[in-house]
Chains A and B, each alone.
Chain A
Amino acid sequence: MGHRIGLACIIDDDSMYVNLVKKIVEVKNLCRNLMVFQNGMDAFNYFEAILTNLDKKAIPEIIFLDLNMPIMDGWEFLENFTKIKNKLGKTITLYIVSSSINPVDIERAKTINTVKDYLIKPVTIEDLEAIFLKQTL
């Protein structure tokens, strides 16, 4: 067993979902800190800002990204994020977590290298545990 994950990130506009995941993370003690962005734009602005003062502690090890969001959706975030992720100097594992079961979305996600996997909501507590555990190995 390695260390416990320090920082995870959720990008999702569904506050109910976010609260539930927060609760699970807390109950299961999956990571020390969890940051939440309500849309892709907020998240991207955050990562762009980090580039100027590379504080590695402020960079999450894992991102859960929703697709359907206002202002900047998951696809646009991925497009922008892919351009800057190598400059962050830290491996970030990114999962898409969406309630879309549209095969078009799933196929499209497969073509993007940045995406580790496509999780279809509802995710289970076991799924989340497994993902966090894998990250620490």
Chain B
Amino acid sequence: MLKKELFNVVAKDFNSGYWELCDDSQKEIWSKKFYESLGYMKEEVRPTIDYFLEYLIHEDDTSVFRDNFLNYKNNSIDFRQHIKILAKEGKYKLYRCATNDELPVDIKSEVNFIFFSEVKLEPEQATTKDNFYYKETAQMTSTGSWYVDFEEKKSYWDFETRRILEYPDDYIPSLRDSTNYYTEDSRQQAASLFFNCAMAGTPFNTEIKMVTAKKRVFWVKAIGKPVYNKNKEIIGVRGVFQDIDEIKRKELRLRKSIDIIASQNSRLFNFAHIVSHNLRSHTSNLSLLVQLIEDIDNIEEKIAFIKDVKQISCSLNTTIEHLNEIVAIHTNKSQKKKPVKFQDAYNLVVNGIGQMIVMSNAQINVDFKNLNTINYIPAYLESILLNLITNAIKYKHPDRDPILEIKTYCLDDNEYLRISDNGRGIDMKLFKDKIFGMYKTFHYNEDAVGIGLFLTKNQVESLDGKITVESEVNVGTTFIIEF
């Protein structure tokens, strides 16, 4: 019984009433304090939940309390809530009720208790109990109220508006400062909504970016409506700000993911067509060849077609290798980015194609001093450099030796790589949309395959970058990659 005694002491100190729940569902033990607090004598009321729900609790609170009570009693789910109970004097009193968990001291009891402590309203708040609910609602939903009074030429904020905007309690808002409350890009929106409301009486309900006193930008739901006097003149605008930063950011993230998914989906769709088309051209040939073999009677001629079978199988392999390369780009995306020096990647590439550079008498000028390192997948950077450099040399101008300018730089917080050549150029009018397509070639070169730029574009885009091209026939071509 020691626990029970200890509990008694605590409960007395706690200065509150309580119920002790019994297994017999028809009866609870109500503490002396509980009766006293409400002003009842023991004989005047029946200490059962049914009686309590029927006669004492305010009807607004009945159903929630009943659920809480039964959940606690049957499933030991703790709860706390505010309820209004009818006192002897005929008025409702506000109580905060809570289960064992809410005790100020850690007492584990085998018996279930519910504690009731009266909520004493501050004198000025006591005028209306709604004020209490308003405060609770404001805090719990992070919703602050404001009022702009045109007659008094004053603005008012409640405590919660000050809190979410991080201004001190004694801060006095004013229309003149109101531009400071909004981010630069949303001031226009805020101003036009407000003046539309003030002049034409158009209410607003919008999501807007605001700035706190501490310069923190956050998303707010701003609702406002005009206030009229008896003569139907607008004398002010009243409204609320609700802090919806978390929700809004989630929404924006979600929207971004949807965009990414949509673009991946369209890439997949595109890829499916590429796969279908490229594989079909070989299988069609194979099927045509088989028909032909079957159709011909001469055995020697039949045998002669075997070399064609061999060639088709060879092309099929090449195509599948190309497709694999593309798939690899999108599965390798998770590969770790790490700092890569442009010079290192460049050296690797140039070593690999040294022969080609020497044979073509190419001159390559590099300038990595404005941006010498980038966080990237090293293999991609090498592949990008390799493709663009070999392209520039392969498609050099017939009348002159190739000169390449390779430069990295930063502009507006973005990182760029630019590779220009003095080659034969690409006719942009004809090929603008096709430069980065698969198996698109623009010159009569025997070794043009039409895979390099397609891969480069896929690599750049898989890491959220962009690649653009400018070119003029007989002058040269410039590729710009934004990382």
| A78 CB to nearest B CB, Å | 15
Which 9 A-B pairs have CB atoms at the shortest separation, nearest pair first?
A122-B284, A121-B284, A99-B280, A70-B441, A122-B287, A99-B281, A20-B288, A16-B285, A125-B291
The reply on B233 being an interface residue by CB < 8 A is no
Whether A124 lies near B291 (C-beta < 8 A) is yes
| A75 CB to nearest B CB, Å | 11
B positions within 8 Å CB-CB of A? 273, 276-277, 280-281, 283-289, 291-292, 295-296, 308, 311-312, 315, 430, 434, 439-444, 448, 450
Whether A71 lies near B281 (C-beta < 8 A) is no
- Give the total number of A-B pairs whose CB atoms are below 8 A apart: 67
| A65 CB to nearest B CB, Å | 15
Interface residues in A81-137 (C-beta closer than 8 Å to B): 99-102, 121-125
User: Given the known A-B contacts A68-B277, A70-B448, A102-B273, are A17 and B284 also in contact in the complex, defined by CB atoms under 8 Å?
Assistant: yes
CB nearest to A71 among chain B residues: B442
Give A101 to B276 CA distance when docked, in angstroms. Answer: 8
Q: What A residues does B312 contact at CB under 8 A?
A: 16
Give A101 to B273 CA distance when docked, in angstroms. Answer: 8
Give A68 to B277 CA distance when docked, in angstroms. Answer: 9
Whether B276 lies near A68 (C-beta < 8 A) is no
Give A92 to B19 CA distance when docked, in angstroms. Answer: 100
18 A-B interface contacts by CB (under 8 A):
A17-B284, A19-B308, A20-B308, A23-B292, A27-B292, A70-B439, A70-B440, A71-B444, A72-B430, A76-B430, A100-B277, A101-B276, A102-B273, A121-B281, A122-B285, A122-B288, A125-B292, A125-B295
Q: What B residues does A76 contact at CB under 8 A?
A: 430
- Please classify the interface of chain B as helix (H, G, I), strand (E, B), loop, or mixed, using the class held by over half of its residues: helix
- Please classify the interface of chain A as helix (H, G, I), strand (E, B), loop, or mixed, using the class held by over half of its residues: loop
Besides A17-B288, A100-B277, A121-B280, 9 new A-B residue pairs in contact (Cβ under 8 A), listed by A number: A16-B311, A16-B315, A20-B285, A27-B292, A70-B448, A71-B443, A71-B444, A101-B276, A121-B284
Interface size on A, residues (CB 8 A): 24
Whether A27 lies near B288 (C-beta < 8 A) is no
Q: What A residues does B288 contact at CB under 8 A?
A: 17, 20-21, 24, 122-125
Give A88 to B292 CA distance when docked, in angstroms. Answer: 35
CB nearest to B272 among chain A residues: A102
Whether B284 lies near A68 (C-beta < 8 A) is no
Within the complex, which residue of A14, A24, A72, A101 is in contact with B292, where a contact is CB–CB below 8 Å?
A24
User: Given the known A-B contacts A27-B296, A70-B441, A71-B441, are A16 and B291 also in contact in the complex, defined by CB atoms under 8 Å?
Assistant: no
Q: What A residues does B296 contact at CB under 8 A?
A: 27
Q: What A residues does B283 contact at CB under 8 A?
A: 122
| A10 CB to nearest B CB, Å | 13
| A108 CB to nearest B CB, Å | 14
